[in-house]
Chains A and B, each alone.
Chain A
């Protein structure tokens, strides 16, 4: 626990410096308070409106987490399917790329029409934005299995499913976790975008506060959204540490 805190110290220093500098710049009149609120005002808003803000955070979190879980499961399943043959890859991979190139803000209104106003639209938006890095990274991992080990499995008559679960999948785990790490941040962004158009949560708080010129509230909500992204990132790092610490160079030393 002490060690974890110690690791957080270097990252906290820039945050403190920037916060103090902003406070000073606003109070000295260099920056207008209605453009960038002083950090103390953001903190005040967070305390005053905590009920509303935390309810929003809870909703955004659940939508982002569900979207993330769906893209993790769906992305890995799609990558396993794509990796089964070159022909399948050529036929379907371009459609997977669609998920990466789709401008989510443009199709979000469509999602509202399909899924209605609320959680389902927000989850769909988080899912669409975050699935591609899972597919791409998992597929790369599954396709880069050591050819010598594939020969070994063939030599002992391993079935395709044994080869998948005992060789290709564990060998791809480092890449899969890289994909999940990217997907975690994207799922939060996707949820916020979804809430802008058709849902309740931090995204809608930002949208409403913006129309009211409440930059302090916008900042408070944005800060909470980034904390959510950080928490998800930290969770995947722990997962990766547990899964890889004994054997992969990225988790050693």
Chain B
């Protein structure tokens, strides 16, 4: 359990939630995307979900977010007491182009009915956390791709979520920007103690970011590999070229290449 203090003096519960998915199934028309998936995620865990395109990664994430209802099976998130505890980061930034960076970051609080003064204070804090204080009165069209993604990340973090879901968020960015955001995301996770589920098709990114990685089967969303990654808690660029990371990547790669 960790407590975060905001500039406005509010303290907000930020410990992660635990997830239990049991025999979850989902089909779109005749296409079975996920059949019989069982998965447990501990509170405060950083989990990467790997798999080829079309294996149901995004659908799984959307089921967890409550945006897609499963056809069968159960999903339990504990504790269940907090409303709006889940945040979602999409593949592209998806900002509101007519709003400034600050107004974009404050949007979730606005929709939840938080008072203006408080939501501005909290959005300011969160923008500082992603290194965007300078750009807060700019419009999305005036930002680089990396900065836009930072705003998107700030928008997700502003509610102090206990579950952060990311769907290939940095896939469209150049490598250096992606490396920086990887490190920042990992640090934010350490500071906040939330549960993070990160969907990606990049083996490097999964191994670098997560403490546990699962590889999904090509069809039907089964779990092919479930592996704890034996890497230091604090990740930096030196780790990127280390034999330890190479070792973990090899294991993930082998599972990805395996038939099925």
Report the Cα distance A167→B97, complex, angstroms.
Answer: 10
Q: Does residue A20 face the partner (Cβ distance < 8 Å to B)? A: no
Minimum CB–CB distance for A38 against chain B, Å: 51
Q: Does residue B117 face the partner (Cβ distance < 8 Å to A)? A: no
**Interface footprint category on B:** 20 to 34
A154 to chain B: which residues have CB within 8 Å? 67
Q: Does residue B179 face the partner (Cβ distance < 8 Å to A)? A: no
Minimum CB–CB distance for B135 against chain A, Å: 14
Contact status A155-B65, CB under 8 Å: yes
Q: Does residue A55 face the partner (Cβ distance < 8 Å to B)? A: no
A148 to chain B: which residues have CB within 8 Å? 90, 92, 94
Q: Does residue B96 face the partner (Cβ distance < 8 Å to A)? A: yes
Contact status B112-A167, CB under 8 Å: no
Report the Cα distance A58→B111, complex, angstroms.
Answer: 47
Contact status A246-B90, CB under 8 Å: no
Out of A156, A171, A173, A248, name the residue touching B108 (CB < 8 Å).
Answer: A156
Q: Tell me what chain A mostly uses at the interface: helix, strand, loop, or mixed.
A: helix
Which residue on A lies nearest to B66, using beta carbons?
A155
Contact status A246-B96, CB under 8 Å: no
Q: A-B pairs with CB below 8 Å: how many? A: 56
Out of B88, B92, B110, B141, name the residue touching A155 (CB < 8 Å).
Answer: B88
Contact status A247-B140, CB under 8 Å: yes
Interface members, chain B 88-105 (any A CB < 8 Å): 88, 90, 92, 94, 96-98
B159 to chain A: which residues have CB within 8 Å? 156
Total contacting residues, chain A, CB less than 8 A: 22
Which residue on A lies nearest to B110, using beta carbons?
A166
Report the Cα distance A252→B66, complex, angstroms.
Answer: 38
B139 to chain A: which residues have CB within 8 Å? 246-247
Report the Cα distance A246→B97, complex, angstroms.
Answer: 8
A146 to chain B: which residues have CB within 8 Å? 94
A152 to chain B: which residues have CB within 8 Å? 88, 90, 94, 107-108
29 contacts between A and B (CB under 8 A): A146-B94, A149-B96, A151-B65, A151-B88, A152-B90, A152-B94, A152-B108, A155-B65, A155-B66, A155-B67, A155-B84, A155-B86, A155-B87, A156-B84, A156-B111, A156-B159, A157-B84, A157-B111, A157-B112, A166-B96, A166-B107, A166-B110, A171-B96, A173-B98, A246-B98, A246-B141, A247-B140, A249-B141, A252-B141
Residues of B within 8 A of A (CB): 62, 65-67, 83-84, 86-88, 90, 92, 94, 96-98, 107-108, 110-112, 139-141, 159
